[in-house]
Amino acid sequence: MSLHPPAQRTVEVAGDAPYAISIGPGLLDAARADNVQRLAQVLRGRHALLVSDSHVAPLHAQRAIALLHAARPQLALSTWVMPAGEQEKTLARFGECLDALAALGATRDATVVALGGGVVGDLAGFAAACWMRGIDCVQLPTTLLAMVDSSVGGKTAVDLPQGKNLVGAFHPPRAVIADTSVLRTLPERELRAGLAEVVKYGAVFDAQFLAWLDAHADALLARDDHALTEAIARSCEFKADVVARDPYERGHRALLNFGHTFGHAIEAEQGYAGSGSDALNHGEAVAVGMVLAARLSTLLGLAPAEAGDRLQALLQRLGLPTGLPPGLDPGALVARMRLDKKADAHGLRFVLWDRAGSARVVAGVAEDAVRAVLEARA
Ligand SMILES: NC(=O)c1ccc[n+]([C@@H]2O[C@H](COP(=O)([O-])OP(=O)(O)OC[C@H]3O[C@@H](n4cnc5c(N)ncnc54)[C@H](O)[C@@H]3O)[C@@H](O)[C@H]2O)c1
Ligand SMILES: O=C(O)C(=O)C[C@@H](O)[C@H](O)[C@H](O)COP(=O)(O)O
Ligand SMILES: [Zn+2]
């Protein structure tokens, strides 16, 4: 293991509104001139609203606030803290976030700064997309999942009881700043959840990356800085490449939904993860969903069963669930899937694979086949 901290990495996201993803330890440290300069370049106007949650704010908000003040001393800054958890990614909380922007008097050159995991990032990003028809958003992701996935690409949303992310907008951030030192306070379960989305990139784009993850599983679980930084940067490269080519998910971007048709149905059917609930969180539901998608691929004659077995073994090695939780009814899950955003007038569409690293969208998947996979449960 190297004694040197990992070098800072930057991934550029191309497109009509390009932006940079900065990754490395200490990027929220206001004492570093390069950090101050990075944020100063993207802040405009007089107002900023820092959005965070009840777990993250006590741990990390002070550093973000100090950096924001250093980057733009004239800033009128307020902080709005939402209760933590997927159960809170609601229209009601979104409305409260808009109220906080109104109370601040945020003008069109204001910035929403999202400090948190994917729940905060999605909700704050959606508020930025809607306030005065769109203001800037800067993402400061604090979970592994948010660093590798949700802070990048501009999908913003809240959930409805009927389904995940059913109300939202595409609204790319102005910048993503991932200070990897905040991962030290991340609960173990959330670290593992983030690894599920990292595995997803290998599953759909690159079998060699899956082999790398297998070889570095122990280092990743031990939070080795070098392994984590590499996994984050590689994941951001995969995502940046696809969202730059297909920002509005008209084609290829849908591959990032591998495991999500099953996963989102599980999350909604369980009533979403939150304090005191046993529900799977997003990353866990995606882990189960990817195994089910691999099984569906095999049932439809697209992929060998061994590919699914290997994926399941890797996810289990990373401490992730891979079987359908007890008590969930296959029929109810299929009914949920009819509201999946990839479904169309012709029925369900799934991201399936031929083998690791080679995925595609398959239309007209029979509900009976989906039920059969769910009834087998893993
Ligand atoms: N927009 C996208 O492209 C995209 C991509 C993937 C996932 N998502 C969404 O992201 C959400 C899941 O995100 P998540 O897994 O980050 O969940 P999350 O935001 O609920 O965070 C997980 C938990 O970790 C806590 N936490 C966050 N950072 C912490 C830290 N550094 N130290 C201690 N605790 C910390 C949070 O308070 C929360 O309790 C889902 O709603 C999912 O739909 C969106
Ligand atoms: O960025 C994307 O595109 C993704 O699909 C990334 C997913 O990991 C993420 O969970 C996303 O929010 C799902 O999008 P949805 O359109 O199915 O709600
Ligand atoms: Zn996801």
Beta carbon of 341 within 6 Å of any ligand 2 atom = yes
119 is annotated as contributing to ligand binding: yes
Using a 6 Å CB cutoff, which residues line ligand 1? Answer: 53, 55-56, 59, 84-86, 89, 116-120, 122, 142-143, 145-146, 149-150, 153, 155, 164-165, 182, 185-187, 190, 193, 197, 281-283
For residue 180, report the distance from its CA to the centre of ligand 2, in Å.
22
Low-confidence stretches of the chain (pLDDT < 50) are none
Ordered alpha helix ranges (H), the chain = 33-40, 56-71, 91-104, 118-130, 144-145, 188-205, 207-215, 217-221, 225-245, 260-269, 282-299, 305-317, 330-337, 367-376
Q: For 14-68, what is each residue's pLDDT tens digit?
A: 999 999 999 999 999 999 999 999 999 999 999 999 999 999 999 999 999 999 9
Strand order in the sheet with 175-179: 9-13, 19-24, 175-179, 136-141, 111-116, 47-53, 76-82
What are the chain's domains?
9-185 (3.40.50.1970), 189-376 (1.20.1090.10)
For residues 138 and 174, is the Cβ–Cβ distance under 8 A?
yes
ipTM of the complex: 0.99
Closest CA to 195 of 252, 157, 240, 143: 143
pTM equals 0.98
Burial of 224 (0-12, 13-18, 19+ CB in 10 A): middle
Q: Does the annotation count 60 as an active-site position?
A: no
Q: For 258-274, what is each residue's pLDDT tens digit?
A: 999 999 999 999 999 98
Q: Does the annotation count 200 as an active-site position?
A: no
Q: Which ligand is nearest to the CA of 286?
A: 3
Burial of 129 (0-12, 13-18, 19+ CB in 10 A): buried
DSSP 8-state code for residue 347? B
Beta carbon of 281 within 6 Å of any ligand 2 atom = no
β-strands 349-355, 358-363 pairing = antiparallel
Q: What is the pLDDT of residue 177?
A: 98
- Provide φ and ψ at 141, rounded to 5°: -70, 140
Pocket perturbation via mutation, ligand 1, pick of 190, 204, 249 by most ligand atoms within 8 A of CB: 190
Q: What is the pLDDT of residue 29?
A: 98
Query: Which long-range contacts link 291-295 to residues 24+ away (Cβ below 8 Å)?
Result: 291/259, 291/315, 291/322, 291/323, 291/378, 292/259, 292/262, 292/324, 292/373, 292/374, 292/378, 293/258, 293/259, 293/261, 293/262, 293/350, 293/351, 293/352, 293/353, 294/203, 294/353, 295/373, 295/376, 295/378
Beta carbon of 63 within 6 Å of any ligand 2 atom = no
322 is annotated as contributing to ligand binding: no
Q: What tokens appear for 232 in the block?
A: 């984050």
